[in-house]
Structure 1
């Protein structure tokens, strides 16, 4: 699940560890599967692959939100010398305050995206096609095209890796949140499936497009007055 033309060799199509503890279960850490691009968490006593990285701390990717460190049993420890996410704090710092109400939505000042202000835009689970259609209908009602079903990277940008149930920043002002949200991104590993965000855990996964399994959460670009 790497970009075409990448220069890497001997890439194993399996799980690679991250340095980020899973807030929902601190004796687990997040890992990424490089065949299907799925992200989930596994027990820290399990064995998976490692891919080192280096570079500037304040790079294009935002911080995960995690500021503490945990041992293999999920107990908090001093971050010094651990090499964990909570020690390095890499990525773009979050603005304060991060969220701001703007007209008909909530602006995430980190990404510039405006989110529908409540999480129950579709109170009942819908299929992927229905999720796309509901957002199209919203734009028709407003007589303009602005809201869209978010891509999986946009959905994942909301996640705070230090939180669970939901895995959102504590300052997030959204009400009536659901567990899982459809993205507009098809899984190229299985094109009859699409990516989704599991909000309780902060994990990304996939769902079969034809099943009414998940919810929709519209997003739009910010248009300053």
Structure 2
């Protein structure tokens, strides 16, 4: 136990060092109230500049009766967690409900014992190795250059051993650079053989046509976190398909909308997600294929873009004109009880967090609960409505609901009004620190983990097949 606590203390110190340059970090409730009143946005970067009178309110369309899975559009990976977390500490090796609640391990693809796969992979991950021309290889192939994710359809590059040279050397790091975003970019500030920034690296991959492809790109933050295996740590990935993975942070394509020169990255030590300066060298795992779990292309009305409209339900929200809305209102539907159906993920969310109610979630007070109390809350929801299957969302499900263009909160306020600025519990236990589970920051979408005795907000979810109240 002493060794584990020492490692955990080191992890927290690393968190503080990593996020010191990022304007938004998980903070206490009192600090949030003070900082939100004093926050300012980078010049020319926020939609706050539009302060004209609000247009008519945005209405979320209703389902025709019960919400069904018919419009579910974006398959995604489960967390890889096949064990249960107990309270206040320890994990249970098997997911046999000894913990007494419907946990992460008992939901989704990871819970399916007869899951059919195109390829193979740990837990419910389903991968196929590809050769230098992008052709499938057998699972036992000793050498491969890329991996196809058979769940999402994305193709990922595979790194070569560190310090061996070549453009895909796993030890090489890069600053983040995009010539279309000069105030967020830092050129050639990593550690590699030549031109060590993200744009130069992608140019090298595409010029060389790695695996026969010339459309390599940085993944968005939802895609990259979807690759995380939360049942593993250091690195938190399926190591049989992605050898030579570093335990550090990997760049995404997404700028941190409210912090100049800050860009989102995903850590493959324990699956954290945070923003950091573009000048700080990080690793890259490039991807190709249609962007997954990302609402680009959805219709966003001018009324919905107007910040004065958004701030009716989220008084401090700021949105960047440089980022496409990933969670517009057209992505969602409401059922007869006011619950919210996400057409991309197939999930149904409570409109309000625990303790709040009403059509605008203004009635009552948002409750902060420890992990045990959070599970007791969803159990009471189910007891009150026979046959319902409310639960805590997984850490990936929370991220998939993210509005990438906005912060405070990083959610659509017309769909989820008056969300409290703070952390919300996931149902995903930490596989290494067995007294901790993952939480998600609704203020700005940072992912971290806390001791299960800490109190956070609770936002219940259920699968679209569970359509009872």
TM normalised by structure 2 equals: 0.39
SS at match of 1:48: coil
Q: Does 1:40 align with 2:297?
A: no
Change (3 A) 1:95 1:23: closer
SS at match of 1:31: strand
Query: Can you list the C-alpha shifts for 1:86-131, whole angstroms capped at 9, x where unaligned?
Result: 6xx9xxx878711111022111111111111113447221101110
Change (3 A) 1:103 1:6: farther
Q: Which residue of 1 aligns with 2:410?
A: 167
Q: Which residue of 1 aligns with 2:70?
A: none
Q: Which residue of 2 aligns with 1:71?
A: none
Q: Which residue of 2 aligns with 1:196?
A: 439
Q: Does 1:30 align with 2:264?
A: yes
SS at match of 2:379: helix
How many residue pairs were aligned?
199
Q: CA deviation at 1:6?
A: 2.6
Q: Which residue of 2 aligns with 1:62?
A: 293
Once the two structures are superposed, the pairs formed by residues 86-165 of structure 1 within 5 Å of their partners are 97-104=330-337, 105-121=339-355, 123-165=366-408
Change (3 A) 1:109 1:26: farther
Q: Which residue of 2 aligns with 1:11?
A: 245
More strand by share: 1
In 1, distance between residues paired with 2:336 and 2:449? 32
Q: Does 1:220 align with 2:462?
A: yes
* The 10-residue stretch of structure 1 (2-11 or 135-144) with the greater mean CA deviation from structure 2: 2-11
Q: CA deviation at 1:56?
A: 1.8
Q: CA deviation at 1:195?
A: 0.9
In 1, distance between residues paired with 2:262 and 2:371? 30
Q: CA deviation at 1:150?
A: 0.8
Question: Residue 100 of structure 1 contacts residue 106 of structure 1 at CA under 8 Å; is this kept in 2?
Answer: yes
Name which one, 1 or 2, has greater alpha-carbon Rg. 2
Question: Residue 121 of structure 1 contacts residue 217 of structure 1 at CA under 8 Å; is this kept in 2?
Answer: no
Question: Residue 2 of structure 1 contacts residue 34 of structure 1 at CA under 8 Å; is this kept in 2?
Answer: yes
Q: Which residue of 2 aligns with 1:177?
A: 419
SS at match of 1:195: strand
Change (3 A) 1:177 1:65: farther
SS at match of 2:398: helix
Question: Residue 237 of structure 2 contacts residue 268 of structure 2 at CA under 8 Å; is this kept in 1?
Answer: no
Change (3 A) 1:14 1:33: same
More helix by share: 2
In 1, distance between residues paired with 2:417 and 2:327? 21
* The 10-residue stretch of structure 1 (157-166 or 94-103) with the greater mean CA deviation from structure 2: 94-103
SS at match of 1:155: helix
In 2, distance between residues paired with 1:141 and 1:174? 23
Which stretches in structure 2 are left out of the alignment for 5+ residues?
1-234, 298-319, 357-365
In 2, distance between residues paired with 1:191 and 1:65? 38
Q: Which residue of 2 aligns with 1:72?
A: none
Q: CA deviation at 1:8?
A: 2.5
Change (3 A) 1:64 1:164: farther
Which stretches in structure 1 are left out of the alignment for 5+ residues?
67-75, 80-85
In 1, distance between residues paired with 2:246 and 2:398? 27
In 1, distance between residues paired with 2:267 and 2:330? 34
- Aligned-pair RMSD on alpha carbons? 2.7
